[in-house]
């Protein structure tokens, strides 16, 4: 077993920050460094994965991250149609209210121009209530637009909350940030609330063999800076 300088420095700092570091904790920290482990737990299923990438891959396969769906983007009926007899027009924006598509078009146009941000005309310090009215069929015809057909759009929903997102990547990012809780390997070893995902469990069991831990201790013993820790571990056995 060979330890890089970077791993040695990180491991030494880990040991120095603890009053009485245990061998198993040091070894687990080494495994994190050596194999770039970043364990996470999906609390809802009570399962710990080796990394968020592994968790996403496994959970996606099980349909627990996102679902593809379609939404219908509809358009309301046109404001003006062939049955319209009178229209009320905002001179600032072109917004129009018709007598047959709005229950009270005159009140509506008053309310609109009084709040219209494009209305810069003032009377007595307040927005002018100025608008146009027409019952000329030829004028009305200019405001008749063919209705738009509703369109279907593919979106993605969170398998956890049902919330809609425009892209699959956005769902995954939200899932990582809000539903995967990071853990250290020491925390993984010391807990009993959650199960380990099978591949991760096999990995841990394989590397917790006595001979591998012994090799780790022997490697540290070759460097003087680790002698105080190695001595305590050996004496504790």
- Compute CA distances 3 → 11, 18, 221, 225, whole Å: 10, 21, 12, 14
Please state, rounded to an integer, the average pLDDT across all residues of the chain: 91
d(CA 197, CA 139): 70
Taken in order 79, 82, 87, 91, the sign of the CA dihedral is positive
Report pLDDT digits (tens) over 149-167.
Answer: 778 889 999 999 999 899 9
Give the model confidence (pLDDT) of 81-120 as tens digits.
999 999 999 988 889 999 999 999 999 999 999 999 888 8
Judged on CB neighbours under 10 Å (0-12, 13-18, 19+), 179 is buried
Q: Sheet holding 164-165: strands in order across?
A: 66-73, 151-158, 164-165
Cβ-based neighbour number of residue 200 at 10 Å: 21
How far apart CA 124 and CA 115 sit, in angstroms, is 15
> What is the DSSP track for 2-24?
---HHHHHHHHHHHHTSSS--HH
CA-to-CA distance for 165 and 158, rounded, in angstroms?
Answer: 8
Rounded to whole angstroms, how far apart are CA atoms 169 and 203? Answer: 29
Percent of the chain with pLDDT over 90: 73
Most confident of the ranges 25-34, 68-77, 120-129, 146-155: 25-34
Give the model's confidence band at 217: pLDDT under 50 very low, under 70 low, under 90 confident, else very high: very high
């Amino acid at each position: 077993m060979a330890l890089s300088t970077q791993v040695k420095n990180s491991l030494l700092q880990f040991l120095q920050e603890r009053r009485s570091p245990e061998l198993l904790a040091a070894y687990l920290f080494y495994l994190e460094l050596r194999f770039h482990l970043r364990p996470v737990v999906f609390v809802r299923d009570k399962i710990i994965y080796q990394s968020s990438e592994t968790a996403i891959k496994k959970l996606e396969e099980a349909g627990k991250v996102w679902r593809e769906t379609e939404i219908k983007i509809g358009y309301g009926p046109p404001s003006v149609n062939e049955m319209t007899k009178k229209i009320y027009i905002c001179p600032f924006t072109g917004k129009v209210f018709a007598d047959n598509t709005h229950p009270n078009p005159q009140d509506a146009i008053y309310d609109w121009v009084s709040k219209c941000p494009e209305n810069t005309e003032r009377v007595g310090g307040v927005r002018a209530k100025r608008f146009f009215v027409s019952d000329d069929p030829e004028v009305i015809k200019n405001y008749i637009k063919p209705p738009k057909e509703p369109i279907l759009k593919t979106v993605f929903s969170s398998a956890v909350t049902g919330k809609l997102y425009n892209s699959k990547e956005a769902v995954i990012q939200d899932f990582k940030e809000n539903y995967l809780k990071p853990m250290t390997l020491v925390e993984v070893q010391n807990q009993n609330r959650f199960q380990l995902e099978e591949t991760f469990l096999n990995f841990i069991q394989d590397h917790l063999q006595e001979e591998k831990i012994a090799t780790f201790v022997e490697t540290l013993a070759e460097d003087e800076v680790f002698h105080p820790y190695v001595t305590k571990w050996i004496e504790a056995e």
